[in-house]
Structure 1
Amino acid sequence: MPLDITAIDPTVVIISFLAVFMVALSKSGLVGSLSFVGVPLLSIVMPVTEAVGVMLPVLICMDIIGLMAYRREIHWPNLKILLPGAITGIAIGWIFFAFISEGMVRLMVGVVTLLFCLDEWLPLRKSLTGLPPSKPWGVFWGSIAGFTSFVSHTGGPPFQIFMLPQRLKPTLYAGTTVIFFAVVNATKLIPYAFLGQLSSSNLTKSAMLVPVAVMGMLLGVFLVKRISTELFYRMAYILAFILALKLLYDGILSFL
């Protein structure tokens, strides 16, 4: 069945492109961990549960590009600690996702997004700097990363809480991040398929967004060492903060 271009809402297209483009820039290393902005932005024009389904194939395409760029820069000891916890968190997310409502998902996404914004402005994780990584600590934050990634593709903040204090060299940190989320995202394909998140409608939307993702990744890799991203970084966090408040409002409103 041919695509009816006249039925496409320009607002949906613009916001969807913006969401994917920002996530791609983030995963390229240009604007840190702003990949958490994707689902909150998409939730403006579609249900949260649909947004996470649309984003997953797009994220996997970004992972492939990242793996090509950083395939030799991986810190395996950290992955051996984090990944078992992440798989557990995904399993817990699968169990809860089958029973939670749209309002609960919005609340969870809103809370995670709000906390990450506050962490950027009041960086509590800096107090952990210098502490050696421990297996229980890594398994715990790996499981939180797996759960939040499953629910809303926002696994970056808990992952960072464990990884950043180690002060790995940037390329090693980037490579470890890429392989961690590549495994997490690939694992999510199975439960997402069972939950109907990979419907033909969602996959069609994902396919339309893949070129934007590739363009954003390539542009980000090109620009990462050429421009200052401070202003963009600050504005993106302000946008995310506003979106988090909206999600919290919508989530609370659904229970009233």
Structure 2
Amino acid sequence: MDTMTLWHLTGWEFAALAFAAFLVGFSKTAVSGANTVSLAIFAAVLPARASTGILLPVLIAGDLLAVLTYRRHAHWPTLWRLFPAVGVGVVAGTVFLVWANDAVVRTSIGVILLVMAGVTVWRRRQADAAGQPDEITSRSGRVKARSYGVLGGFTTMVANAGGPVMSMYLLSAGFRKLGFLGTSAFFFLIVNVSKLPFSAGLGLIDGRSLLLDAALVVFVVPGAFLGKWAVRRINQRLFERLVIAATVVGGLQLLLR
């Protein structure tokens, strides 16, 4: 990664990254999956391949704050069921990043964003049409967990975009708000930390990128506090519509860039 380009950010570009970091904090404590907007901003401002490594420590900072907030509400049997499949997906994503150049990664992120926006719309329509079934202990639930785990691991390694995949799985499994937030907080903390050696080995994280991360993490904290305050007050449906719209715009921007 040519990290020298990180020192040539304009004021507006840094402001965009700071806003994206703020959204990471907010999404981790309020609306999981909203950080798809953040990854679109990072990939638009920075080289797409490098943006995945620079965003990762920012996400981990948000995960830590989410764990501190919702640690008592995690459902560990669900987490243990997901992790083996996620590991397969992370390895597949790492192999993909070995040969993929910046243009391929940028296009892949754009496609992933658009697919995840479509998945989110489908999820909401399914939820409106019927109640959420509890599939945590069923055979079909185990198959579903493996499928979502592999897809989530791949998308989170390639584009840090596993949030919508896991959100769909947790909601379909019948999780209520606090259980959803607590389980996803531990899930992404563990998965994102496990990605660090892979990203470093690919050259996506180094000393210069970590200095930029140190400046951006400051903006994660107020976002997390706002999310904690808003989680019981926010109009979830309206916010999800805004996130979907922003995700679609971000995905199209990357594809047309």
Counterpart of 1:19 in structure 2 is: 20
- The one-letter code matched in structure 1 to 2:112 is V
**For structure 2, which runs of at least 5 residues remain unmatched after alignment?**
1-6
The farther-off stretch of 224-233 and 58-67 is 224-233
2:135 maps to 1:132: yes
For the pair 1:238 / 2:245, whether they are aligned, the reply is yes
CA distances 1:200-225 after superposition (whole Å, capped 9, x unpaired): 12111111100101111012112222
CA distance in 2, matches of 1:75, 1:230: 25
Deviation at 1:229, TM superposition (A): 5.4
**Residue 197 of structure 1: aligned partner:** 204
1:60 aligns with 2:60: yes
Counterpart of 2:36 in structure 1 is 36
In structure 1, the residue matched to 2:157 is: 150
Partners of 1:148 and 1:77 in 2: how far apart? 23
Counterparts of 1:226 and 1:160 in 2: how far apart (Å)?
20
8 Å contact kept, 2:61–2:217: yes
Assess if the C-alpha contact under 8 Å between 1:109 and 1:152 holds in 2. yes
The residue number in structure 2 matching 1:49 is 49
Structure 1 unaligned runs (5+)? 1-5, 251-256
What is the alpha-carbon distance in structure 2 between the residues aligned to residue 137 and residue 103 of structure 1? Answer: 32
- Residue 254 of structure 1: aligned partner: none
Worse-matched range after superposition: 211-220 or 114-123: 114-123
Give 1:220's aligned amino acid.
G
1:8 & 1:80 partners in 2: Cα distance?
41
The alpha-carbon deviation at position 78 of structure 1 amounts to: 0.9
Structure 1 length as normaliser, TM-score? 0.88
Aligned to 1:164: 171
Q: What is the TM-score when the length of structure 2 is the normalising length?
A: 0.87
Residue in 1 aligned with 2:3? Answer: none
Residues 1:171 and 1:108: Cα distance change in structure 2 (over 3 Å): same
1:202-253 per-position Cα deviation (integer Å, ceiling 9, x unaligned): 1111111001011110121122223435544433322221111121223xxx
Identity of aligned residues (%): 29
- Tell me how far apart the structure 2 counterparts of residues 14 and 232 of structure 1 sit (CA, whole Å): 22
Deviations 1:46-101 (A, max 9, x none): 11111111111111111111111122211112111111111111111111111112
Moved more, 55-64 or 112-121: 112-121
Counterpart-to-counterpart distance in 1, 2:151 and 2:107: 16
Q: Does 1:179 align with 2:186?
A: yes
1:119–1:125 contact (8 Å) kept in structure 2: no
User: Would the aligned equivalents of 1:50 and 1:197 in 2 still touch at CA under 8 Å?
Assistant: yes
Pick which of 70-79 and 116-125 moved more.
116-125
Partners of 2:20 and 2:42 within 8 A in 1 = yes
Query: Is contact 2:32-2:163 (8 Å) kept?
Result: no
Task: Mark the CA change 1:122 to 1:132 in structure 2 (over 3 Å): closer, same or farther.
Answer: closer
Contact (CA 8 Å) 1:39, 1:48: kept in 2 or not? no
Distance in 2, Cα, partners of 1:230 & 1:14: 28
Q: Distance in 2 between matches of 1:221 and 1:109?
A: 28
Q: What is the CA-CA distance between 1:152 and the residue it aligns to?
A: 0.7
Pairwise mapping of residues 2-17 of structure 1 onto structure 2 (< 5 A)?
8-17=9-18
CA distance in 2, matches of 1:88, 1:7: 37
Structure 1 pair 125–153 and aligned structure 2 pair: CA distance change class (3 A): farther
SS in 2 for 1:40: helix
- CA spacing shift, 1:164–1:229, aligned 2, 3 Å: closer
Give the length in aligned residue pairs.
Answer: 244
